[in-house]
Amino acid sequence: MGAANQSASHYALLGLSPQATGPELRQAFRSLSKRYHPDTTTLPEAEAQEAFRLLQQAYLTLSDPERRRVYDASLLVVQPVRTLSPSVRLSTQPAPVRRALSGGEWLALLLLALAVVFSLVLGVGLAWARGAEFVRVPSWWPPAGQTAQPLGVALADVSSATPPGAALQPSAGGVGAVAE
């Protein structure tokens, strides 16, 4: 009978041993309350309310050191303990729940977005104040006022001016010059 009493205890509801610490108790309660809270569970409302009420009762009893001492002493005395209905099974596995973001979560996302925008504005502003170039013209780009010629055209012009059998040598201009 003692084993049956222990299986239906507050410890069993929270999935903990009687030696559980305060942080373990708090973590187990938070995990299970997210799963069985009437607003977030798929259980029928009456069963969800009953399961959540039992979880709250177990947590309130075990989180207070004096209540816990009295409760642990009462476990030694054989007495019937109310259990959940068979259709409600408490487990530590999180139930998949898709829910809307809370106000606090939206606020956190807004603050994160503002921090990113502020960082970008600050970075660009500091670079501009220091005189950094935002757009650097590539070295191969023609100087201002000249139009770019396709590379194939420039090479064709050089090769047509080259006598047959002459080797092309690189020049300071980079296109090529005729070696004599």
Structure tokens at 40: 């977030």
pLDDT, the chain, mean: 75
Counting every residue written for the chain, the total comes to 180
Structure tokens at 159: 């090769």
C-alpha 102/C-alpha 87 separation (Å) is 30
Selection from 4-18, 47-61, 115-129 with the highest mean pLDDT: 115-129
- Please say if the pLDDT value at position 160 is more than 80: no
The predicted-structure confidence for 58-82, as pLDDT tens digits, reads as follows 898 888 888 888 888 887 765 555 5
Angle, vertex CA 32, rays to CA 16 and CA 23, nearest 5: 50
Tell me 82's DSSP state: -
